[in-house]
Amino acid sequence: MPLDEKTISQEKERWQTTTLKKVTDRFPERRKTFENSSGIALEPALTPADVSMEFLDDLGFPGEYPYTRGVQPTMYRGRFWTMRQYAGYASAEESNARYRYLLEQGQTGLSVAFDLPTQLGYDADDEMSIGEVGKVGVSISCLDDMRTLFSQIPLDKVSTSMTINAPASVLWAMYIAVGKEQGVAPKALRGTIQNDILKEYVARGTYIFPPKPSMRLITDTFRYGAGEVPRWNPISISGYHIREAGSTAAQEVAFTLANGIAYVQAAIDAGLDVDDFAPRLSFFFNAHNNFLEEVAKFRAARRMWARVMRERFGAQNPKSWTLRFHTQTAGSTLTAQQPMNNVVRVTLQALAAVLGGTQSLHTNSMDEALWLPTEQSVRVALRTQQIIAHESGVADVVDPLGGSYLVEHLTTEIERLADEYIAAIDEMGGAAVAVERGYMQAEIADAAYQAQKAVEQGDQVIVGLNQFQVEEEEVTMEQLKVDPRIEQNQRERLAKLRQSRDNARASALLARIEEAARAPDAPLMPLFIEAVEADCTLGEICGVLRGVWGEYQPKVML
């Protein structure tokens, strides 16, 4: 027979003062307060008395508002999440070979890593690119590079995610152009550009332009995508890098959703109807080590975004209320010490993402703390997802941890903490203002300091790092190294391109881009596509925009 709340509370008090006290008296060293990364206190055991009885109203059913339990009614019983391994290094040829290998191994989506010059809008032959070409991703300077990157990969059969931000619209233009060359209409293309500039100012640093013109580029992609590339996600609002910079789980949710609110408002201010673009907004989260906190984090973010879109922005289309997200396991948790341990970390993090209801997942490779991942290590990372999907049974039921007293309590507490942050950011005038003031950066820096102090003092155990160490033997694992000749080869290819193209046409298109950039509302995406098809390079296009808008100079925080 169900008990009322008063009886449950009385029974819990009896348990705490009798059974629990007897054990804790015997083990006083275990009396210390337990908290998770967000500072949420954890009791030894929870009952319905610890969970708001209103949580059942919030739970609802999968595929229904507020989507706490998932954005689709069947979730993985319908189909598994997209297994999308993040990859890219050296030249377009080498990265293309890695993509085709991963697809042969059962990967179901592509995810492109670009090198630092590409991320900052420089060509491979720019003096700013010296020593960095192909090092942390693939070098893409022109349409021919993009053409090579997707050679023998039918773009109507795969979805592609591109981790690119400041110059995202130009790289997207190249992808659209390659699709057209393959005979694939823009309306048939599926994928995502990260295109999240606010978190670059906060946590990652690969920005080019000041916030105002950067937001214009983003709303321009929203408009173009809604009309011409309707199956594409024109933004992936990213908490991943916020968490990698040291934030707590609650901060990751809060700052990501605050940035999302800023993008929605900017698009509305630009004249777009919320239900025209909101269904294609996507998100990108981190899967960290605290397993149950991570599951709750994903559930809280989904519920919060549904309320933001329906109640704050008045969206009418239920698809506008859904928070669809990609997850990557936490690179910052990987250790160079005893790297095989990273397989276990990644497995737990991936499982948290699946139990939290992710739509897409990347699992890090065991050797990423040492060097670029090898084919063997990326295969193990992919197999981790496949074993979870096909062998663990966790995908057989939607939201299998839903209703757990602890999971529901954590979900509610993360939402409460994140709401407090969003309210503070709203009071400042929104995410862009908070970024300019350095508010988010300061909060993340403090959380990162506290986390590092806990590791150094031994309060947070990192297996193999500050406890359970072994004398390290020389690492004998296979290594992948980038050939230093890649940079010279890219320079030579660009020189030949500039000699062979119609330079008069290229110059005319760059002049049109400059004119459009000076006009406040002129659309830019169609011009970018025309320009890359005329073999204008990434660096040339971004150089024109730099000349009009300037470069962002962050304030020095004292």
Q: Most distant CA pair in the chain: distance in Å?
A: 86
pLDDT digit string, tens, across residues 234-246: 999 999 999 999 9
pLDDT of 558 over the 50 cut: no
Per residue in 305-343, pLDDT (tens digit) is 999 999 999 999 999 999 999 999 999 999 999 999 999
* DSSP codes joined into one string, 527-558: HHHHHHHTT--HHHHHHHHHHHH----PPPP-
Average pLDDT of the chain to the nearest whole number: 92
Domain map (residue ranges) of the chain: 83-456
Q: What is the percent of the chain where pLDDT is above 90?
A: 81
Tokens 């096909």 correspond to: 390
Question: What's the chain's Rg over C-alpha atoms?
Answer: 24
Confidence band for 55, pLDDT divided at 50, 70 and 90 = low
pLDDT of residue 147: 98
pLDDT at 471 over 90: no
Which whole number is the average pLDDT over 70-98? 93
pTM: 0.93
Length of the chain counted residue by residue: 558
Give dist(CA 305, CA 171) in Å, integer. 28
Residues whose CB is less than 8 angstroms from the CB of residue 463 and which lie 6 or more positions away in sequence, other chains included: 338, 341
Domain 83-456 maps to which CATH number in 3.20.20.240, 3.40.630.10, 3.90.1170.10, 2.160.10.10? 3.20.20.240
Q: Are 166 and 118 in contact, with CB atoms under 8 Å apart?
A: no
Over range 127-145, report the average pLDDT: 96
